[in-house]
Amino acid sequence: MAKKLVKSRRQFLQTTALGSAFASFSLPLIAAQKAADFTANLPESMRQAGKPFSNYGQPSPYEKDIIRWIAANQDMPGNGVSWSPLHELQGTITPNGLHYERHHNGVPDIDPATHQLLIDGLVEQPLSFSIETLKRYPQTSRICFIECGGNSNSGWRNIPIQSSAGYAHGLVSNAEWTGVPLSYLLQEAGIKPEAKWVIAEAADGASLNISIPIEKLLDDAILALYQNGERLRPENGYPLRLVLPGWEGIVNVKWLRQLRLTDTPVMSRDETAQYTDLMPDGSARQFSFIMDAKSLITSPSLGMHLSDNPGIYQVTGLAWSGRGKITRVEVSDDSGESWLDAELQEPILDKAFTRFNLPWQWQGQYAVLQSRATDDSGYVQPSREALVANRGTDGFFHYNAIVSWEVTEEGDINHVYPF
């Protein structure tokens, strides 16, 4: 406790020096409703017997508006995305029902009793595994994010899109994945020396296939059976998916049915026509697997309104990096003129969401709130200006620039490009 006070005090002093509005924690300043008539009217719920038990719990009906926002492709049934409502969530774990979705061909209905995984190609001995067999191998758990390479792609547009934080940047979610380390199975099959790539193939509609360098699969790939403690949700790959921590969504193949070891990539649609980056010189960048560091203020953010109650607000958000751990998140309220370090909430995990927090004084002044993440490789999240200078404006994938929320004097929040 004493330690915390000292820390807050230092932040307060730093705040004064910068003349900025970031405040120390001083809870009594946050106006709460007076409790004078607390006992006068006991709530209705205390005078009734509650509802009975349920076999599988659901969120409160009062939370019915906390949903994934769906953008389905009208011309191609089963193709589209649904965004995770990051602006409505707290902590770092995405509940299974709100994990973002990206399907190229809808969600297949797969019976785990008959599903098989085949490992073949450049192996000593092709092997096939049922789900029951896989469950007999030692399993490991890993909390990590999965992010679509197309997440935040509206950032490439010339005009800032006015969508909520999650509905512009929520093609990323963070879960605890549990399953069998893939290295066990590859070693059991026996890797031939020529094998450099693995073509992962799925059991959905157009049997999505994608090439993955074998080193990554031997390093930390998981054949996931469980998601946040329960079996995978159908939309996230039931009964079996590949999880490649820190690597872009497309290589995290859902409904996995085959891994074929080869000496060259297969050059499939999703690694040539899609998920590549057109660069300013006209060349295309391919196989940009690692997701660069990124951060996002989830509150206050677009769609929220501040003016009813000026005073202290908690600036909070998420940061993550495909290269490793988040080491620092800085927050600015003046379009990046000055920055203060936010508190990083424990646990700070490798290739996983890290939550940051910083108390902020808002007394009706105009402000532009931004967050900037740094990871343990030393990589610093770029400004939009810097990203565009490096990558041009013809890109579509892999957008990770700083996001700016303008707070008006009325307390409305808009998305802006400050430069």
Ligand X SMILES: Nc1nc2c(c(=O)[nH]1)N[C@H]1C(S)=C(S)[C@@H](COP(=O)(O)O)O[C@H]1N2
| Residues of the shown chain interacting with ligand X in the complex, contacts defined by CB under 6 A | 99-104, 146, 148, 202, 204, 208, 235-237, 249-250, 252-255
C-alpha closest to that of 273 among 173, 108, 146, 150: 150
181 part of the interface to Mo ion, by CB under 5 A: no
For residue 48, give the amino acid letter. Q
CB 251, min distance to ligand X, A: 7
Give the pair of three-digit tokens for residue 8: 């807050």
Distance CA 341, CA 262 (A): 46
CB 356, min distance to Mo ion, A: 25
Strands 230-231 and 241-243: unpaired
Of 244-263, which residues contact Mo ion (CB under 5 A)?
Answer: 249-250
276 contacts which partner out of Mo ion, ligand X, none, CB within 5 to 8 A by kind? none
Maximum CA extent, the chain: 78
Give the pair of three-digit tokens for residue 106: 């809808």
CB 202, min distance to Mo ion, A: 13
Residue 101 vs 271, nearer CB to ligand X: 101
CB 416 within 8 A of CB 406: yes
Residue 236 vs 381, nearer CB to ligand X: 236
Residue 202 vs 349, nearer CB to ligand X: 202
Residue 253 vs 401, nearer CB to ligand X: 253
- Closest residue by beta carbon to Mo ion: 148
Residue 201 vs 406, nearer CB to ligand X: 201
CB 71, min distance to ligand X, A: 13
Burial zone of 163 (CB within 10 Å; 0-12 exposed, 13-18 middle, 19+ buried): middle
Give the pair of three-digit tokens for residue 409: 């004097």
- Within 10 Å of residue 209's Cβ, how many Cβ atoms? 17
CB 114, min distance to ligand X, A: 17
Give the pair of three-digit tokens for residue 93: 């774990």
CB 202 within 8 A of CB 208: yes
CB 205, min distance to ligand X, A: 8
The only residue of 102, 241, 254, 294 in contact with Mo ion, by rule CB under 5 A: 102
202 contacts which partner out of Mo ion, ligand X, none, CB within 5 to 8 A by kind? ligand X
148 part of the interface to Mo ion, by CB under 5 A: yes
C-alpha closest to that of 94 among 82, 103, 106: 82
Residue 202 vs 212, nearer CB to ligand X: 202
Residues that bind Mo ion (CB under 5 A): 102, 148, 249-250
